[in-house]
Amino acid sequence: MTAMTTRSSCSRMNLRRAGSRTNSLRSSSIVCCRFRGMTLGKITIHRKYYNRPRRRFRHHEEEAAEAHTVTESAQTEGESLSVAAAPVMIQEPVTAEPIGRDMPVAEKIEETAPEEAAPKPPDSRPADKRSRFSWLLLIPAFLLGIAVMLLWNLFQTAPEPKPAVIDPLTPTERAIQKTHRNVVSVVNMQKANNLLNESEVPAEVGIGSGVIYKLTEKEAYIVTNYHVIKDATRIQVTLPDNRKVTAKRVGSDKWTDLAVIKVPKGNISSKIEFADSDDIIVGQTAIAIGSPLSQTFAGSVSQGIISGLNRAVPVDLDGDGLYDWESNVIQTDAAINPGNSGGALVNDDGKLMGINAMKISLDNVEGISFAVPANDVKKLSAILETEHRIERPALGVQLQDMNHLQLDALKQQLGLPDDLTAGVMIMAVEPRSAAEAGGLQPQDIITQIEGKRIDGLVQFRKALYYDHKKGDTMDMTVFRQGQTKHMKVKLK
């Protein structure tokens, strides 16, 4: 009984102390235990702003053992414990997490406000909705920013647009401006002969034109027609700035009617560009530049179109009234007059399409002129620069066109068949020539070369010069004294 009383008084004293702290600190907690058949709930003494350091209570297992001992003693002695302390509020236990085995009890005690009901948490749904749709407020702001920028740009002073550069020149004018300084006058000067004496000073006997097509460090190369400088003892060139210089002959070829001369470069700074004459089409603009009639009209320009391509035009090279050659040329209706020979025929880009060479001059004919194609000019002028002439195979015979002979007399004399009306007759054979080595004889009539029919002298020369070169063996069909023979001749 004494021991029990002691414990009861200890418990009462502890409770009183706890109650006294309630008034001052307004916070404390006591773990519930089983006492005299009653189960006490969790006693919570509310506190506010309690900053006292946490106490280290005994382990919950020791507390449970002590509570059990007190309960058994109370039941045995039949005494009740009275709690003399300040009134406290006993509440129903509040759900809390279980206290861990090694964790202090005080750390797991739940605290509430002393006398006020716990405030309900605010409803978060409106806030959630506001946060969910708050980004929509950015759209009007974004649109407003764009509108402000547009208005700002609208009211800014826009720079005045630069006026479009309009070329006042037409394509023809541009082509002339580009090429006129590349076309020169070429004067053929020869010494005059008479019965008394021979003049020492060459005089002008003809005039033509030329085109500057190549420049080196010291010289300018000019292409012109062979007949412009034929038999000249001195060649004088008048440049676009009216300076007169003496030109030197580089090379020439009478069959293609082309020649190359050169002059000191001086202040010549430009040359003409070649067009691809294989790309020329009928109807294309053609501009002729040259010096018709005399130097008074140097730099004259005429315009037309390309009238035809790949024209085969027979020409008389020696002036005997007979056609000696057949030139491959392009046709134009641009006005070409004496003095235009050797001048430029250019397109709208100012590129050389051909070298003006000849025209048909008849009373009832107008606007039919011809030019050597640019591709032929480019190829042959390069050969004339280095070789000074076009090397062609030689047969070593003098020929006559059958059309120019008296066929009736020949038929009786040579026994020609009635169907033999075309070919070339050998009039003479040069000594030590390819013809002599091949067994050809005078009065032989050549009717075919490599199986192709020969109608006249022009076709024979084209077959010889175009299809063969020096050292080739040429197969010919020859009619001799009533018999047809096949002969092979190695050209020299």
Query: Both ends of the chain: CA-CA distance in Å?
Result: 162
**C-beta neighbour count of 107 within 10 angstroms:** 10
Nearest to 302 by CA among 336, 277, 332: 336
- For 227, 229, 336, the CA distances from 209, given in Å and listed in that order, are 11, 10, 12
H or E segment at 92? none
**CA–CA separation, 336 vs 357, rounded Å?**
9
CB 359 within 8 A of CB 336: yes
Which residues does the annotation mark as catalytic?
A: 227, 257, 341
Query: Which residues fall within 8 angstroms of residue 311, CB to CB, at 6 or more apart?
Result: 328, 329, 330, 331, 370
**CA–CA separation, 481 vs 485, rounded Å?**
10
3-state helix, strand, coil in the chain (%, to 5): 30, 30, 40
- For 8, 12, 19, the CA distances from 83, given in Å and listed in that order, are 9, 6, 10
Provide the β-strand partners of residue 475. 488
Query: Which residues fall within 8 angstroms of residue 319, CB to CB, at 6 or more apart?
Result: none
